[in-house]
Chain A
Amino acid sequence: KNEVEQSPQNLTAQEGEFITINCSYSVGISALHWLQQHPGGGIVSLFMLSSGKKKHGRLIATINIQEKHSSLHITASHPRDSAVYICAVVSSYNTDKLIFGTGTRLQVFP
């Protein structure tokens, strides 16, 4: 079983829909990252969380440390949001490395 699990693996939506991507982890963590990977392959960091909630534009990320769960929400989705969204955690016993989920592929259609 992977230490970081994401759901769903694939997601399609119509433009304007509210999107939720989930991440569950089984290790103690210092921080959690949400990353975005576009079809060209490059990865961009969206959020780094250690507690609570962060918002940037139409993106909202939440984390519940007790439940070992984080969610990434996209409000008013747009075709340019189509990408792979990756959850990654910094383990509290080894802060040198990130542990990655397998990603959620999102396609938003006009």
Chain B
Amino acid sequence: DGGITQSPKYLFRKEGQNVTLSCEQNLNHDAMYWYRQDPGQGLRLIYYSQIVNDFQKGDIAEGYSVSREKKESFPLTVTSAQKNPTAFYLCASSVSGRSYEQYFGPGTRLTVT
């Protein structure tokens, strides 16, 4: 049963703490993406990776970091430098680096207080 998993579904952290969001896919996709969703705004790209051990900044990378050590995994760390980290975070993957068809995970809702 192929797909993308994100865990946990809900995450709560205190301000000033780093937090890592998990994203795993078993679709054998090369490319993976992290998006942030805020009320009233479209999804915004944080980071993306087209191949293992390589990744590029998206439109709102400040305050975030990623790694891509394995094809299946693309964890996102929200650092204390992110000014407004409370949001819904979505991970996606696609067969190649082109965005013609992206598959999305169920998302993680992060609340920082």
Give the interface size bracket for A toward B: 20 to 34
Give me 15 A-to-B residue pairs in the complex whose CB atoms sit less than 8 angstroms apart, sorted by A's number. Answer: A30-B100, A41-B106, A41-B109, A42-B107, A44-B104, A45-B103, A45-B104, A48-B100, A86-B42, A96-B48, A96-B50, A96-B99, A97-B48, A98-B43, A100-B42
Binding site for B on A (CB under 8 A): 2, 4, 30-31, 33, 35, 40-45, 48, 86, 88, 90, 95-103
Give the interface size bracket for B toward A: 20 to 34
Binding site for A on B (CB under 8 A): 40-45, 48, 50, 56, 58, 88, 90, 92, 97-107, 109
Minimal Cβ-Cβ distance residue in A for B105: A42
Question: Is A40 a contact partner of B99 (Cβ separation < 8 A)?
Answer: no
